[in-house]
Amino acid sequence: MLEPFIDLEAIFKLAVRETEELVKLGIDISDPSVVTSLEWYANKYPEIAELCNNALMELIDKQAATTPELVAAYCDVDMDGF
């Protein structure tokens, strides 16, 4: 049985928009406990994994530059105490 045509470009664009929404909501997308649409679709469709991963890294860098308090929160954690 053949699978119907999958529009990977549209899926990628949707994943970017959904991940940008998370950023607008103030969710730290670099947090390992957060699974973004970009990560989910990269795992589901290996054909666009590199594209999704690159877009996610760009969004993380942009979020870190515009909301340094997120980065500062990680820097202030005493990892030796764990």
Residues 60-71 pLDDT 10s: 999 999 987 765
**Could you tell me if 76 and 54 are in contact, meaning their C-beta atoms sit under 8 angstroms apart?**
no
pLDDT at 82: 39
28 has pLDDT over 80? yes
pLDDT at 72: 52
Query: Cα dihedral sign for 18, 20, 24, 30?
Result: positive
Could you tell me what percent of the chain has a pLDDT over 90?
Answer: 73
Is 65 among the domain residues? Answer: yes
Is 39 among the domain residues? Answer: yes
pLDDT at 5: 86
pTM summary value: 0.77
Is 50 among the domain residues? Answer: yes
Is 58 among the domain residues? Answer: yes
Enclosing domain of residue 48: 8-71
Is 23 among the domain residues? Answer: yes
Query: Cα dihedral sign for 52, 53, 56, 61?
Result: negative
Is 82 among the domain residues? Answer: no
**Could you tell me if 50 and 16 are in contact, meaning their C-beta atoms sit under 8 angstroms apart?**
no
Q: Total structural domains in the chain? A: 1
